Amino acid sequence: KASILISIFILCPLYPIMTEQTEKEEIVREVHLKISPQYASIAVVPKDGEKRDPNFPHNLHNAAELFLRVGLVENAEKLKDTTDKVMNIYAENPDGKSGLNIGDACVCWSCGHCGIPKDYKKEDKKNKLPGPCFDCGEKEQVNWLRITQKKGKEIVEMPWIEIAPLSEEQNRKKNDAEIAAKRAEVEARVKQALATRSASEDASK
């Protein structure tokens, strides 16, 4: 059998997770996910029929634990990655203008992505069900999220802030720039190697 040992730090217990069987060997992998207590401040909003479910994960801290209990390590990692990005943006005191998307977010139980859904409009949270997931397109297995922050004696709801995804043109330019940079690096290495070889040949004469 293949097994994955998951170590969760900060309010998360140790979970042994069983994965698909392999015929020849036992594979043990140790994954460390540091789940911040701040995840508990991001509530998962239940849909009709979910409010009385005792197993419903009420916040993203619970959601991360749930993914790990059932062996969905990649989902937990994606939840952590997308949530940490939002927390980092808040820590930098964003101006709300420079290349950021601001709105309401969803957690996707299919892939673990947390973020503003596709084709989002400000009034969506009040008028429609959450989703679809921006990452995988899931429409059913998603829930709205609610971020709260204590300001004085009041609990204030905060928007989800994330870096705006690149457009197709921006992605093309980015890929072209990366390819050009790699080509220039290879050419510089070849030039250096030829120069070193030439110097070595001259020295041996």
Report mean pLDDT in 10-residue bins for the chain, 205 residues. Answer: 39 43 45 74 90 90 90 91 90 71 92 90 69 90 89 84 70 75 87 83 72
Q: What is the pLDDT of residue 52?
A: 86
* 129 phi and psi angles, rounded to 5 deg: -70, 160
Do the Cβ atoms of 18 and 32 come closer than 8 Å? no
Q: What is the pLDDT of residue 10?
A: 35
* Nearest Cα to Cα of residue 37 among 54, 17, 62: 62
User: What is the CA 34 to chain-centroid distance, rounded?
Assistant: 13
* 189 phi and psi angles, rounded to 5 deg: -65, -40
Q: What is the pLDDT of residue 36?
A: 78
Q: What is the pLDDT of residue 126?
A: 64
Q: What is the pLDDT of residue 170?
A: 57
